[in-house]
């Protein structure tokens, strides 16, 4: 029986992201009918993009856990992620409480993907991944890198998060990124979940 490979998150080539982000900045104006969707030139594109990358990596997390005793819900591991985010946020000048809210959303978004994929693979074993990535050596280092990026983007977007255009700008970032990364429906839902607390 042939088993499908796990969809891998796209690898971005050096300089490639700059091109589409520059294009997206123009597109922002079109999507908002020319209305201001940023504060002082700040947008949510980079934050939405790295959150989308985290959502795509959830496919690998799901594959690593599928068919093993490793649970999707792992409160001890989740607390480590939240504590690390809060500590690093304080070092970067970001509100630790905000960091915890945002990373709780990121975790829930990942679990949304994992649960859906496990349900699909259980119902259709022929679609289950043929490879099992290693959580410790392959997946978590990438998640750790993304944690740092998200925190820095939270710091850099503070003026926009405090502005009346926050939600509109977040929707623009979401729409541009889900199109640029060609997210599937499940990943689109998860990205919305991941960004839930940005403008709260």
Region of 143 on the Ramachandran plot (φ > 0 left; ψ -120 to 50 alpha; else beta): alpha
Asked if residue 37 belongs to a domain, the reply is no
Q: How far apart are the C-alpha atoms of 46 and 57, rounded to whole Å?
A: 17
Asked if residue 90 belongs to a domain, the reply is yes
Asked if residue 154 belongs to a domain, the reply is yes
Q: What share of the chain is helix, strand, coil (3-state, %, to 5)?
A: 70, 0, 30
**What total number of domains does the chain contain?**
1
Average pLDDT of the chain is 86
Q: How far apart are the C-alpha atoms of 73 and 76, rounded to whole Å?
A: 9
Q: What is the pLDDT of residue 101?
A: 98
Asked if residue 137 belongs to a domain, the reply is yes
**Coil, strand, or helix at residue 42?**
strand
**Coil, strand, or helix at residue 39?**
strand
Asked if residue 28 belongs to a domain, the reply is no
End-to-end Cα separation, the chain, in angstroms: 48
Question: Phi and psi (nearest 5°) for 133?
Answer: -60, 155
Asked if residue 178 belongs to a domain, the reply is yes
The CATH number given to whatever domain includes residue 142 is: 1.20.59.10
Residue 88: half-sphere exposure toward Cβ, Cα within 13 Å: 21
Nearest to 199 by CA among 174, 164, 150, 151: 164
Range of the domain at 159: 52-194
Beta bridge partners of 42: 39
Q: How far apart are the C-alpha atoms of 66 and 156, rounded to whole Å?
A: 37
Asked if residue 11 belongs to a domain, the reply is no
Quick: pLDDT tens for 9-61: 443 433 444 444 444 444 444 444 434 445 556 799 999 999 999 999 999 99
Beta bridge partners of 39: 42
Q: What is the pLDDT of residue 53?
A: 98
Quick: pLDDT tens for 67-111: 999 999 999 999 999 999 999 999 999 999 999 999 999 999 999
Asked if residue 79 belongs to a domain, the reply is yes
């Amino acid at each position: 029986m042939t088993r499908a490979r796990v969809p891998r998150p796209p690898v971005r080539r050096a300089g490639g992201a700059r091109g589409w982000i520059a294009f997206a900045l123009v597109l922002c104006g079109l999507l908002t009918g020319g209305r201001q969707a940023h504060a002082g030139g700040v947008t949510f594109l980079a934050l939405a993009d790295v959150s989308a990358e985290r959502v795509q990596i959830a496919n690998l997390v799901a594959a690593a856990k599928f068919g093993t005793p490793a649970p999707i819900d792992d409160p001890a591991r989740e607390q480590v992620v939240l504590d690390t985010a809060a500590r690093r946020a304080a070092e970067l000048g970001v509100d630790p409480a905000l960091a915890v809210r945002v990373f709780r959303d990121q975790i829930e978004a990942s679990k949304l993907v994992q649960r859906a994929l496990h349900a699909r693979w259980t119902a259709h074993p022929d679609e289950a991944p043929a490879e099992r990535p290693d959580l410790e050596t392959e997946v978590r280092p990438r998640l750790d890198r993304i944690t740092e990026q998200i925190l820095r983007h939270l710091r850099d977007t503070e003026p926009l998060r405090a502005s009346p255009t926050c939600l509109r700008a977040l929707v623009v970032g979401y729409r541009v990124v889900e199109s640029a990364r060609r997210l599937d429906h499940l990943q689109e839902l998860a990205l919305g979940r991941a960004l839930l607390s940005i403008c709260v």
